[in-house]
Amino acid sequence: MATLDAILFPLLLLLSSAIPTLASGFATTLDPSLMGLNLRKEKLSHFRFYWHDVMSGPHPSSITIVPPPSNASATFFGLINMIDNPLTVRPDPGSELVGRAQGLYSSASQEEVGLMMVMNFAFVSGKYNGSGITVLGRNPVFQKVREMPVIGGCGLLRFARGYAQATTHTFDPKTGNAVVEYNVYVLHY
Ligand SMILES: *[C@@H]1O[C@H](CO)[C@@H](O)[C@H](O)[C@H]1NC(C)=O
Ligand SMILES: *[C@@H]1O[C@H](CO)[C@@H](O)[C@H](O)[C@H]1NC(C)=O
């Protein structure tokens, strides 16, 4: 027992000095290099892909989970759609799948068709397979270019910040299906 104490006690002392005390009890300042981060080596990446909002057919990727009230304005104010939209390299839905846009959009404007987008772009291709970025922003769909903030990321895209620009490639008013080009600019490490 005495020998065990003799070994454990110095070890505990060593450990307690190695673990930083949390200043406020639950938060502390870390040296970024401990997480393999070099703050001077921030990268800027540009992603371009096509977002397919498929509302028709047997397997829609975009479904209305909360319809607008029947007496709603012409802007569908109150509508909520849940999406699991394919992201492809070209406008052709059969082109290579690079990820999925998972989340929802809701009609949040009474003046124009203006959506609030809350989406995770979950990439499935190449080195970004398993990584993703999160977009939360305002999307007035009838404007030529809509810009939305990138508010974060995960995997290789941890600490991501930037913006996404959406431009409608095609929209079919009969089915509601749309193909939208996304250009996303992201700073990350
Ligand atoms: C819409 O209809 C509901 C139910 O009839 C009613 O309570 C509400 O006041 C109406 N809203 C507007 C903006 O007319
Ligand atoms: C992406 O990662 C998943 C899970 O690790 C793996 O099953 C899949 O084959 C990968 N896809 C590509 C295109 O590398």
Separation CA 76–CA 117 (nearest Å): 15
pLDDT of the chain, 189 residues: tens digit per residue:
455 555 555 554 455 545 555 667 899 999 999 988 888 899 999 999 999 999 999 999 999 999 998 776 799 999 999 999 999 999 999 999 999 999 999 999 999 999 999 999 999 999 999 999 999 999 999 999 999 999 999 999 999 999 999 999 999 999 999 999 999 999 999
Ligand 1 atom 1, closest CA: 71
Separation CA 80–CA 50 (nearest Å): 21
Q: Is the CB of 143 under 6 A from ligand 2?
A: no
Q: What is the pLDDT of residue 35?
A: 86
Among 36, 47, 39, 24, which Cα is nearest to 166's? Answer: 47
CB 165 within 8 A of CB 145: yes
Ligand 1 atom 14, closest CA: 71
Helix (H, G, I), strand (E, B) or coil at 146: strand
Q: Is the CB of 17 under 6 A from ligand 1?
A: no
Q: What is the pLDDT of residue 70?
A: 78
Q: Is the CB of 33 under 6 A from ligand 1?
A: no
Among 132, 133, 123, which Cα is nearest to 97's? Answer: 123
Q: What is the pLDDT of residue 72?
A: 66
Q: What is the pLDDT of residue 1?
A: 44
Ligand 1 atom 11, closest CA: 71
Residues 180, 80, 158, 88: is their CA dihedral positive or negative?
Answer: negative
Q: What is the pLDDT of residue 45?
A: 97
pTM for this model (two decimals): 0.83
Separation CA 67–CA 17 (nearest Å): 58
The two structure tokens encoding residue 44: 């800027």
Non-local (6+) Cβ contacts of 77 within 8 A are: 68, 107, 108, 109, 110
Burial class of residue 90 in the structure, from the number of CB atoms within 10 Å of its CB (0-12 exposed, 13-18 middle, 19+ buried): middle
Domains of the chain: residue spans and CATH: 35-188 (2.40.480.10)
Q: Is the CB of 124 under 6 A from ligand 2?
A: yes
